[in-house]
Structure formats: structure tokens, C-alpha cells
Amino acid sequence: MPQPESQPARIRRRTFGLGVAAVTTAAALESHVGLPAGAATAPATQTFDETTLWDNTVDPMNSYHVHGLAVLPDDTILVATEGRHEVCDAGPRDLVVRRSEDGGDTWEPTQTLVNSVDGQSWGNPTFVVDKTTGGIFLFYMLSIRLPENTTCSGDIGDLYMISSSDGGRTWTAARAMSGLFDHFPYDWALHGPGPGHGIQLDTGRLLLNCSHRRVIIGNTVDQRFYGVASIYSDDHGATWQATAEVPVSVPYPINEARLVQRSDGTVLVNGRAAAGSESLPSAMIAD
């Protein structure tokens, strides 16, 4: 849908480092005596509970794949996933969600947010939460295969969004988000939100990663121009605009990525290789 004109936030390449930090903790055994004041002690044991939210052996769908999770300002937890009618990235898929109001101890029954009608393939559920207003935005994609495509991947991916103002109990009608990426020079046809969730910056800006590529039919891997360009909102989700793209690289094509804001205010984009590259993981810094 048309969006107000605005100067997009620029994303440019900067030098970055990759490293692994190994951390060891000294533990004082009870049998030791004469330890100096302030000596390290054994860390407290941490435990966690495990809950199965969907199980294809008892639940109706063939599989449950690609998950999105959000924690609301009141600590309500929302988890969404694709309910796949068959094991196929572009096959019939519903979008379903479950809620927990007690930190994950108990969960409400599954709620179907978007139904597959006549084989529609809804995917990539990705939350963005506005901590100021409590508004929740769930972005997702309608995947479409061209008739010549015999693979299980879609050629076209249109972006959609629904929202909730009551903690995920009820949701608005779907809003088409087409046109946000038409101005890019790559002829991108598939726009996949996420995976995971978006973030809110210190400024209040809502920011969501989206990955892109050309159609599969008629394009080799190098010709698909896998890339990342996010969307953002500065008016609490009323309107959304595209950022500039992370520089598109044919030798290292990135698609699915995560965003994090660093302490200096910059945003780190950490992307995975889209086509089996043997290169190191890619990271970019955004202004």
C-alpha cells in the first residue's frame, strides 16, 4: 500500500570483527579452607521448564515450522508458528498463535489467525511490539509459486500485517503492505519478514528485518540477488517505510537475518548465507 514519502535510513558497510569469548568461572569447593575474602563461589544452579506447544502426532497439522515469539510489556508471551498442511515451504499453511499470561507456566488453546483457503501458503510470522503503546504487529508473507516452478519454494512473497491492541486476544483484519520495496533496483519479488521478531530502538522506532530475492524461475542463484532491507515505523505502527538495503553481495548472498541495537545506538544486522556459501557469517552495522 502507498506509504508517505520520507528519507530512508541509510545502511552502509563498516568494518566489523568476529570473535569467540571463552569465559571460565572459578568455583570454590566446600572442602577448601582459608579462601580469601571475595573469592569466587560456584554459580547458582539454573533450571528451566519445557512445554510442547504443538505436536504433529496429536495436533491436526502435518508439521509446525518457523516460529515467532514476543514478550509484551506486561510479560504476556505470544508464540506464533506456521501450521503446515504438508511438508513444503510453499505448500498450504495456516498461521496459529498461543498465549501465556503467567510466564509460560500455562498456555491458552491454539488460535488460528490466518487460514489457508484453496491452498494459500501463509508463512514467516514475525512480531514487532511497541513497548510505549503496547501495540502488537504480526507481519507475515503469502508465498506464491509460478506454474513452471516444480520446487517447494515460492517465487513471489507479498507482505501482510495484522495488529492487536489488547495483548493478542483479538486481531485486526489483514493489511496488505505491498509496494514498500518497489523502488529497489533488483526486481525483488519475494519479501519475507523475520524470522523471529523485530525490535524497538531507544528512539521509539519500530524496526523489522525483511529478506528479499527475485523469482526462482528463470534466475540462477547468482541472479536472484538475495538481500536484506528492513522496514520501520516512527508513528507507532501507523505507517511503515523501507530502509536502504544492506549492500547486496553475489559472492555472499544473505537473506534471513536478526537485528540488535548496540549500546552506541547503531544496529547490527547478522545474516545467514542464502545459498550454501562457505563464507563466514555476515554482519553489517546500520546507522
Is residue 35 within 8 Å of residue 28, measured between CB atoms?
A: yes
Q: What is the mean pLDDT of residues 151-178?
A: 96
Is residue 272 within 8 Å of residue 253, measured between CB atoms?
A: no
Q: What is the pLDDT of residues 120-130, one digit of tens each?
A: 999 999 999 99
Q: What is the mean pLDDT of residues 162-171?
A: 97
User: How is domain 63-248 classified at the architecture level of CATH?
Assistant: 6 Propeller (2.120)
Instruction: Name the region of 204 (left: φ>0; alpha: ψ -120 to 50; beta: rest).
Output: left
Q: What is the mean pLDDT of residues 87-93?
A: 95
Question: Which tops the pLDDT comparison, 14 or 284?
Answer: 284
pLDDT of residue 49: 81
Mean of the per-residue pLDDT values for the chain? 85
pLDDT of residue 93: 98
Is the pLDDT assigned to residue 190 strictly greater than 70?
yes
Is the pLDDT assigned to residue 70 strictly greater than 70?
yes
pLDDT of residue 67: 96
Residue 246: DSSP 8-state? P
Q: What is the pLDDT of residues 205-236, one digit of tens each?
A: 999 999 999 999 999 999 999 999 999 999 99
Question: CB neighbours (10 Å) of residue 32?
Answer: 9
Distance CA 213, CA 78 (A): 29
At position 259, the amino acid (one-letter code) is L
Q: What is the mean pLDDT of residues 175-183?
A: 95
Identify the burial level of 48 via C-beta atoms within 10 angstroms of its C-beta, where 0-12 means exposed, 13-18 middle and 19 or more buried: exposed
Contacts of 184 (CB under 8 A, 6+ apart): 212, 229, 242, 245
pLDDT of residue 135: 98
pLDDT of residue 106: 95
Is the pLDDT assigned to residue 26 strictly greater than 60?
no
Is the pLDDT assigned to residue 34 strictly greater than 60?
no
In the chain, what are the domain boundaries? 63-248
pLDDT of residue 276: 57
Question: For the chain, what percentages of helix, strand and coil (3-state, to nearest 5) are there?
Answer: 0, 35, 60
